[in-house]
Amino acid sequence: MSVDDAKSSIELQVTSLDQLFNSLDPFPFRERDLDKSAEEYIVSWARELPSFAAIDIVIHLPAVETKHWHEQEVKDAFRHYFDYRAEIVGRAFRELFRIGRRSLAIGVVVLLASVGLSEFTQRSFGHQGLAAIFSEGLIILGWVANWRPLEILLYDWWPIARQRRLYRRLAAATVSFSLNGKTSAAHTA
């Protein structure tokens, strides 16, 4: 595998196109899943490329392989697979925000109840001894109840959004073939 910063290319050397696709996938070639190892290889190298650059995937094959495949089907399979992966990650992204919003609503209610109970405790029992400890504990409980929602809404979504962008870039990648040194290229989208 070579990564050329100017072209942002990922090169794969295979002896057969079957190495790229999941052999247990019953769907037509256009819909086929990539082999897990092939996907990990492509994705790991795509992460190393500049995030602003388009990606070119070059598949090096023996010329004899041209008898057993149709170039456009392979390109469509790559595009469909990475579009599907971007969609799956997009669903996870939306689900995370749904959980974050719901958790935040619960956290705010807990915070308001905790502050209210703390005020009630202070007014009823004063600011001394166990009452003061209980009152402060309620305030801490209220803020701790908001820890996870704030973590979700401020930080947890970044890696998921980055993964979705990467899959979208891979879905839009140009897939080309090199047969005995000759390259055939076409954009997948």
The pLDDT score that the predictor gives to residue 33 is 82
Going by C-alpha positions, the residue among 85, 21, 12 that lies closest to residue 45 is: 12
Tell me if 85 sits within 8 A of 167, measured CB to CB: yes
Query: Confidence band (pLDDT; 50, 70, 90) for 21?
Result: confident
Q: Give the best-scoring range by mean pLDDT among 55-64, 93-102, 125-134.
A: 93-102
Tell me, what's the pLDDT at 145? 96
Provide, rounded to the nearest whole percent, the portion of the chain with pLDDT above 90: 58
* Confidence (pLDDT) at 63: 75
The tokens describing 24, both together, are 């247990």
Token representation of residue 50: 């500049």
Amino acid 2: pLDDT = 45
14-28, 80-94, 110-124: lowest mean pLDDT where? 14-28
Rama region for 126: left / alpha / beta (φ>0; ψ in -120 to 50; rest): left
- Check whether 114 has a pLDDT greater than 60: yes
Q: Which residues 6+ apart lie within 8 Å of 32 measured at CB? A: 21, 22, 25, 77, 81
Q: Does the structure show a pLDDT above 50 at 1?
A: no
Q: How confident is the model at residue 181 (pLDDT cuts 50, 70, 90)?
A: low
3-state class (DSSP) for residue 62:
coil
pLDDT at residue 189 greater than cutoff 50: no
The answer to whether residue 146 scores a pLDDT higher than 90 is yes
Sign of the dihedral defined by the CA atoms of residues 148, 153, 158, 162, in that order: positive
| 33 or 159, higher pLDDT | 159
pLDDT level of residue 18 (50, 70, 90 thresholds): confident
Share the mean pLDDT of the chain: 86
